[in-house]
């Protein structure tokens, strides 16, 4: 299942998923067809709520999309438990976070950093799993590095090779100097509630 979007504004694949969809941490960028949720009041927000206390019934949401939000939460465990609580069994959680070594990750408001293994702790099938929460279990469907776009044709060609290598050899890329030398801008994950 490859539902990665090429750009975070191209959410047509996610928009076509039937059911109730949330855009958590929507801020000033609401998504059409989603219930836009943010902690800050705005005319573009449908529901004002904290990720630690979402006003939705248990297992009532089919898809949750969150972009550049989870790095801001103070209590990551509680937020993931709340997301898990409201997501239907088999529902999808689509996450985009800044990569831990990228310039975008180093921001005073960010409480945590992410790498390609950050959500393995919730997947019972991953060897790197340890118990952060026995109640929260997601199957990782996909994970992918995203890089900044290049306009120079030579740089673009080089980056195309780096992107291919990074996303097809994640463990080698992440565990060596490559990830620091050619730092991705962000990482996207697709998780499915089990």
- Structural domain boundaries in the chain: 12-147+184-193
The residue-averaged pLDDT of 107-129 equals: 81
What is the C-alpha to C-alpha distance for residues 81 and 72, in angstroms, rounded to an integer?
16
Quick one: pLDDT at residue 175?
86
What is the C-alpha to C-alpha distance for residues 17 and 79, in angstroms, rounded to an integer?
23
Per DSSP, what are the bridge partners of residue 61? 87
Question: Which token pair is 54?
Answer: 């979402």
pLDDT exceeds cutoff 50 at 85: yes
Quick one: pLDDT at residue 107?
73
Quick one: pLDDT at residue 140?
92
Helix, strand, or coil (residue 73): coil
CA dihedral 175, 105, 69, 165 (to 10 degrees): -40
CA atoms within 13 A on the CB side of 144: 18
Quick one: pLDDT at residue 80?
94
DSSP string, 94-163: EEEEEBTTSGGG--TT----B-TTTTGGG-TT-TT---S-SS--EEEEEEEEE-----SHHHHHHHHHHH
pLDDT exceeds cutoff 50 at 3: no
What is the C-alpha to C-alpha distance for residues 160 and 165, in angstroms, rounded to an integer?
9
pLDDT exceeds cutoff 50 at 8: no
Quick one: pLDDT at residue 191?
94
Percent of the chain with pLDDT over 90: 45
Q: Looking at the domain 12-147+184-193, which fold is it?
A: Rossmann fold (3.40.50)
pLDDT exceeds cutoff 90 at 44: yes
Mean pLDDT of all residues belonging to the chain: 85
Quick one: pLDDT at residue 134?
66
């Amino acid at each position: 299942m490859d539902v990665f979007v090429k750009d975070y504004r191209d959410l047509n694949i996610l928009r076509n998923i039937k059911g109730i969809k949330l855009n958590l941490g929507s801020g000033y960028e609401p998504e059409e067809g989603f219930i836009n949720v943010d902690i800050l009041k705005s005319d573009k927000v449908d529901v004002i709520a904290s990720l630690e206390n979402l006003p939705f019934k248990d297992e009532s949401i089919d898809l949750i999309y969150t972009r550049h939000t989870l790095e801001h939460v103070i209590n990551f465990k509680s937020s993931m438990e709340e997301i898990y609580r409201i997501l239907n069994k088999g529902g999808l959680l689509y996450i985009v976070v800044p990569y831990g070594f990228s310039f975008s990750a180093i921001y005073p408001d960010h409480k945590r950093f992410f790498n390609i293994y950050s959500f393995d702790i919730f997947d019972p099938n991953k060897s790197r799993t340890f118990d952060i929460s026995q109640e929260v279990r997601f199957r990782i469907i996909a994970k992918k590095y995203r890089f900044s776009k290049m306009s120079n044709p030579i740089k673009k060609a080089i980056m195309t090779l780096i992107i291919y290598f990074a996303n097809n050899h994640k463990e080698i890329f992440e565990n060596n100097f490559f990830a620091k030398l050619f730092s991705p801008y962000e990482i996207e994950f697709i998780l499915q509630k089990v």
